[in-house]
Amino acid sequence: MLLLHQQKSARNNPVNTCIYWCESRVCRWQVSCILDRYSRAEQSLTPETAEKEKDERIRRQVWKAGIMSIKTKNIKMRKKLRMTSKRRVVMAQVGGVGVATALSLSVVSVAAAAECNAVEPALVNPIYGLGGSATRPYIKELATVLANQTPAVTVLYNDSGGACTGPYSLIQGDKASGSFRYWDKTGKESTCTWTAGSAAAPAVGFANMGNSIGLCKTNGQATLLPQTIADVEGPVVGVSVIVPKGSSENSISTEGVYFVFGFGKAGQVSPWLDDNLIIRRNENSFVQLFLAKATGVPETKFKGLDAKTNQASIQLVQTAATPNAAIGFASSDVADDNRASIKTLAYQHNGQSCGYLPDSSNTAFDRKNIRDGHYYLWSAQHYFAFKGATAGSYADPNVEKFIALATGKTVPQGVDWINLVKKAGEVPRCAMQVWRDGDLGELYSYQDPSPCGAAYDAAPGKIAQ
- Measured CA to CA, the distance from residue 80 to residue 429 in angstroms comes to 43
- pTM summary value: 0.79
Boundaries of every domain in the chain: 1-33, 110-234+381-464
Q: What is the pLDDT of residues 174-201, one digit of tens each?
A: 999 999 999 999 999 999 999 999 999 9
- Measured CA to CA, the distance from residue 388 to residue 450 in angstroms comes to 28
- Measured CA to CA, the distance from residue 243 to residue 240 in angstroms comes to 10
* Confidence band for 219, pLDDT divided at 50, 70 and 90: confident
- Measured CA to CA, the distance from residue 178 to residue 371 in angstroms comes to 36
Q: What is the pLDDT of residues 76-104, one digit of tens each?
A: 333 333 333 333 332 233 333 333 344 34
- The stretch 19-27 carries a mean pLDDT of 32
User: Left if phi > 0, otherwise alpha if psi is -120 to 50, otherwise beta: which for 73?
Assistant: left
Q: What is the pLDDT of residues 403-432, one digit of tens each?
A: 999 999 999 999 999 999 999 999 999 999
- Measured CA to CA, the distance from residue 424 to residue 462 in angstroms comes to 7
Q: What is the pLDDT of residues 268-294, one digit of tens each?
A: 999 999 999 999 999 999 999 999 999
- The stretch 147-159 carries a mean pLDDT of 98
- Average pLDDT value for the chain: 82
Confidence (pLDDT) at 464: 42
Alpha-carbon distances of 437 from 46, 211, 403, 443, 445, rounded to whole Å? 45, 12, 21, 8, 12
- The stretch 430-446 carries a mean pLDDT of 97
Q: What is the pLDDT of residues 335-362, one digit of tens each?
A: 999 999 999 999 999 999 999 999 999 9
- The stretch 133-149 carries a mean pLDDT of 97
Alpha-carbon distances of 351 from 7, 171, 218, 419, rounded to whole Å? 19, 39, 33, 34
Confidence (pLDDT) at 24: 31
Alpha-carbon distances of 177 from 209, 283, 433, rounded to whole Å? 18, 21, 40
Contact 230, 386 (CB under 8 A): yes
Confidence (pLDDT) at 420: 97
Which DSSP string do the residues of 340-377 spell out, in sequence order? Answer: TTEEEPEEE-TT-SSBB-SSSSTT--S-HHHHTT-S--
- The stretch 392-413 carries a mean pLDDT of 97
End-to-end CA distance of the chain: 37
* Confidence band for 55, pLDDT divided at 50, 70 and 90: low
Q: What is the DSSP letter of 112?
A: T
Least confident of 48-57, 131-140, 153-162: 48-57
The residue type at 430: C
- Residue 445: its H or E element: strand 444-445
